[in-house]
């Protein structure tokens, strides 16, 4: 096999691995994301439970980075402490290492089973949760298949005359091997993929256990950079947990590398085969960092806070400029004479409105759980920003219409006006309807039943997912997305009926908590349904333009 053919096969296998991992993660997030977030919030107060929950989440999401970003957002919002967040991430890293171990077993038989069952479930039902379960199973099948593909692609390398020279060089230059693994992992954005690639090479006899362990340490360094880089533009509080993980895991990988290079500890205890030694070294390293992190977490937190504060101080001279950028509108007056460019500017401004609404919609349910006067006031201030952009868009569109426009441009102008109106209405519902529910719940000090809260959370998660579809549609104008959005509106109507029936059943049974929170429960469902209906109307212009919308209903294909 030529070098180019090898790289093509290996690149395809790695691409399938990354795609399959993403399929599993997004399927879990869509089907069970809200439940997982609730469990995480409840357990982060206990250091041991925080680590165990982080571990379980990493296994479920197939990504310690996803857990790091999630926990970092909780810390940024003040839902959890930075200390608990750092411990949860430590557990997540161990969970990610355990995923590699699970995937190292011979799971070939699961490939046809997962693909067959997953595809059947996905095609046989329209229920969101079941379809996501099918997506997860297909993702697992493709993930295992990608490992077989990597093994087959790498087999001819044993006969190569060049590869031994490269491996020999890396074996004699631990620093280069360490840094190369770190860079590759960062490019993959997945430590799981990087370690599995290493174990594949080790199983073929291409990479020795000694070199593999050095590169595994590099994998851990590269992986620890991903979350900090993704949050580098976030407020300081959001960066504490990712940078704390970088400080602990990154420094730990360098310390262990020094020990491995200078003391060459025996590897027999790590397993009898090269691939097992690499996998077990990965697990042992993360366990060591976890156990070291428990007593050192306070020190790491203080060091991280000092580091983030230093970064903030260093950028103080740019604060005014950054604030100006945040306030800068895309509505450039100089583009008014060019209607296509002006309409593109309006689209950009509408996207900013979407971002604000998405954050508000995501944040509102968190306020139901934990709110105070300061957070309520801050939430209400977000609507002022939405109103300001809405007013600016209306005035800008009115000024565009003074110029000659084609029929398509005039229609796009009207559609964008409708979008801004709908987004402003969603903001009003969140602040004028749902925020008073938060205040009422806080003043009365009542709590939903476990079942009632689960229903609200699932309903909210469905609306949030549909909102993201609507916001994407603003940019893509994709008819398939538009059809899905309208269909989800109909599905959510049935979910609302089922939820209301279950709520009234609890009332008939005389559940005290259900009686106390009945109006809050029903009003919240009603408001969320109204928000979903408003956002679903963003699909109508796209469908109408392509002749897919009848006068009152979506046409059947």
Return the pLDDT at 318.
40
Verify that 123 and 202 share a domain, yes or no. Answer: yes
* Confidence label for 528 from pLDDT (cuts 50, 70 and 90): very high
Taking phi over 0 as left and psi of -120 to 50 as alpha, with beta for the rest, 331 belongs to beta
Both structure tokens of 194: 């990087």
Verify that 395 and 345 share a domain, yes or no. Answer: yes
Segment among 298-302, 329-333, 463-467 with least mean pLDDT: 329-333
Return the pLDDT at 117.
94
CATH code (residue 413) = 1.20.58.220
Which residues are bridge partners to 358 per DSSP?
none
Verify that 281 and 404 share a domain, yes or no. Answer: no
* Confidence label for 79 from pLDDT (cuts 50, 70 and 90): low
* Confidence label for 402 from pLDDT (cuts 50, 70 and 90): low
3-state SS of 503-545 is: HHHHHHCCCHHHHHCHHHHHHHHHHHHHHHHHHHHHHHHHHHH
State phi, psi for 205 to the nearest 5 degrees. Answer: 80, 15
Question: Residue 534: which of 459, 453, 428, 458 has the closest Cα?
Answer: 428
**Domain boundary at 282, 312, 342, which?**
312
* Residue 272 in this model has a pLDDT that exceeds 70: yes
Verify that 256 and 191 share a domain, yes or no. Answer: yes
Residue 186 located in a structural domain: yes
* Residue written as token pair 């050192």: 296
DSSP state of 332: -
Verify that 355 and 305 share a domain, yes or no. Answer: no
DSSP state of 316: G
Share of the chain above pLDDT 90, in %: 22
* Residue 27 in this model has a pLDDT that exceeds 50: yes
Both structure tokens of 2: 């030529």
Secondary-structure percent of the chain, ordered helix, strand, coil, rounded to 5: 85, 0, 15
Residue 553 located in a structural domain: no
Residue 317 located in a structural domain: no
* Confidence label for 157 from pLDDT (cuts 50, 70 and 90): confident
* Confidence label for 35 from pLDDT (cuts 50, 70 and 90): low
Both structure tokens of 217: 């340490």
Return the pLDDT at 283.
94
Residue 491 located in a structural domain: yes
Verify that 343 and 293 share a domain, yes or no. Answer: no
Both structure tokens of 465: 């997912």
pLDDT tens for residues 482-507? Answer: 888 888 887 888 888 888 787 777 77
**Domain boundary at 312, 347, 364, which?**
312
Residue 383 located in a structural domain: yes
Is the pLDDT higher at 282 or at 309?
A: 282
- Tell me the CA end-to-end span of the chain in Å, nearest whole number: 47
Helix count and strand count (H, E) for the chain: 23, 0
Please tell me whether residue 371 adopts helix, strand or coil conformation: coil
Return the pLDDT at 500.
79
Identify the domain containing residue 373 by its residue range. 333-545
Return the pLDDT at 319.
38
CB distance 447 to 513 below 8 Å: yes
3-state SS of 464-492 is: HHHHHHHHHHHHHCCHHHHHHHHHHHHHH
How many CB atoms within 10 Å of residue 103?
A: 20
Is the pLDDT higher at 131 or at 234?
A: 131
Segment among 306-315, 379-388, 466-475, 508-517 with least mean pLDDT: 508-517
CA atoms within 13 A on the CB side of 370: 8
pLDDT tens for residues 407-426? Answer: 888 888 888 889 999 999 99
Question: Distance between CA atoms of 81 and 187, rounded to whole angstroms?
Answer: 30
Verify that 81 and 225 share a domain, yes or no. Answer: yes
Is the pLDDT higher at 324 or at 268?
A: 268
Question: Residue 209: which of 258, 251, 160, 270 has the closest Cα?
Answer: 270
Alpha carbon separation from 121 to 117, 371, 388, 486 (Å, rounded): 6, 40, 46, 22
Verify that 350 and 228 share a domain, yes or no. Answer: no
Return the pLDDT at 425.
93
Question: Distance between CA atoms of 246 and 234, rounded to whole angstroms?
Answer: 16
Is the pLDDT higher at 67 or at 137?
A: 137
Residue 425 located in a structural domain: yes
* Residue 322 in this model has a pLDDT that exceeds 50: no
- Most confident range (mean pLDDT) of 219-223, 267-271, 435-439, 440-444 is 219-223
Tell me the residue length of the chain: 557
Verify that 393 and 529 share a domain, yes or no. Answer: yes
Verify that 50 and 169 share a domain, yes or no. Answer: yes
Residue 556 located in a structural domain: no
Please tell me whether residue 554 adopts helix, strand or coil conformation: strand
What domain count does the chain have? 2
**Domain boundary at 248, 283, 312, which?**
312
**What is the residue-wise DSSP string for 201-242?**
HHHTTSS-HHHHHHHHHHHHHHHHHHHHHHTTTS-HHHHHHH
* Residue 44 in this model has a pLDDT that exceeds 70: no
Task: Please classify residue 530 by burial: count the beta carbons closer than 10 Å to its beta carbon, then call 0-12 exposed, 13-18 middle and 19+ buried.
Answer: middle
Looking at every residue in the chain, the average pLDDT score rounds to 83
Verify that 507 and 388 share a domain, yes or no. Answer: yes
* Residue 265 in this model has a pLDDT that exceeds 50: yes
What would the mean pLDDT of 52-61 be, rounded to a whole number? 84
Task: Tell me the pTM.
Answer: 0.62
Which residues are bridge partners to 549 per DSSP?
554
Query: Which ranges in 44-127 belong to alpha helices (H)?
Result: 47-61, 64-76, 82-103, 110-124
Residue 40 located in a structural domain: yes
Verify that 535 and 428 share a domain, yes or no. Answer: yes
């Amino acid at each position: 096999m030529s070098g180019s053919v090898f790289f093509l096969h290996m690149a395809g296998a790695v691409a399938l691995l990354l795609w399959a991992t993403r399929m599993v993660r997004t399927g879990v997030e869509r089907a069970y994301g809200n439940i997982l977030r609730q469990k995480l919030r409840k357990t982060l107060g206990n250091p041991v439970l925080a680590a165990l929950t982080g571990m379980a989440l990493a296994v479920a999401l197939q990504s310690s980075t996803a857990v790091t970003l999630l926990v970092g957002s909780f810390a940024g919002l003040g839902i959890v402490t930075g200390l608990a967040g750092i411990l949860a991430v430590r557990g997540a890293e161990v969970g990610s290492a355990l995923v590699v171990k699970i995937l190292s077993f011979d799971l070939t038989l699961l490939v046809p089973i997962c693909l067959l069952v997953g595809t059947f479930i996905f095609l046989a039902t329209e229920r969101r949760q079941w379809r996501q379960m099918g997506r997860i199973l297909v993702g697992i099948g493709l993930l295992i298949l990608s490992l077989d593909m990597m093994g087959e692609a790498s087999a001819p390398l044993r006969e190569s005359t060049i590869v031994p020279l490269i491996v020999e060089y890396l074996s004699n230059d631990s620093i280069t091997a360490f840094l190369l693994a770190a860079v590759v992992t960062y490019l993959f954005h997945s430590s799981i993929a990087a370690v599995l690639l290493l174990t594949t090479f080790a199983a073929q006899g291409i990479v020795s256990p000694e070199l593999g362990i050095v590169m595994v340490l590099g994998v851990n360094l590269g992986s620890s950079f991903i979350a900090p880089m993704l949050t580098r533009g976030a407020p300081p509080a959001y960066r504490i947990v990712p940078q704390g993980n970088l400080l602990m895991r990154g420094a730990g990988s360098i310390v262990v590398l020094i020990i491995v290079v200078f003391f060459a500890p025996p590897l027999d205890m790590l397993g009898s085969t090269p691939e097992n030694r690499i996998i077990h070294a990965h697990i042992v390293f993360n366990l060591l960092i976890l156990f070291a992190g428990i007593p050192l977490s306070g020190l790491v937190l203080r060091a991280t806070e000092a580091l983030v504060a230093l970064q903030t101080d260093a950028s103080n001279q740019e604060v005014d400029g950054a604030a100006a950028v945040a306030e800068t509108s895309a509505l450039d007056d100089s583009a008014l004479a060019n209607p296509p460019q002006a309409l593109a500017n309006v689209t950009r401004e509408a996207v900013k409105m979407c971002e604000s609404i998405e954050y508000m919609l995501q944040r509102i349910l968190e306020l139901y759980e934990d709110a105070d006067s300061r957070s309520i006031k801050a939430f209400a201030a977000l609507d002022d920003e939405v109103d300001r952009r809405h007013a600016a868009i209306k005035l800008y569109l009115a000024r565009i219409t003074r110029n000659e426009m084609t029929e398509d441009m005039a229609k796009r102008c009207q559609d964008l006006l409708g979008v801004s109106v709908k987004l402003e209405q969603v903001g009003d519902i969140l602040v004028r309807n749902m925020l008073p529910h938060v205040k009422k719940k806080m003043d009365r000090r009542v709590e939903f039943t476990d079942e009632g809260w689960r229903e609200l959370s699932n309903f909210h998660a469905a609306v949030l997912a549909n909102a993201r579809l609507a916001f994407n549609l603003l940019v893509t104008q994709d008819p398939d997305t538009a059809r899905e959005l309208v269909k989800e509106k109909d599905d959510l109507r049935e979910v609302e009926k089922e939820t209301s029936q279950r709520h009234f059943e609890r009332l008939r049974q005389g559940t005290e908590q259900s009686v106390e929170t009945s109006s809050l429960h029903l009003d919240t469902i009603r408001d969320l349904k109204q928000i979903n209906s408003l956002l679903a109307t963003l699909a109508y212009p796209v469908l109408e333009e392509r002749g897919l919308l009848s006068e009152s209903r979506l046409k059947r294909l």
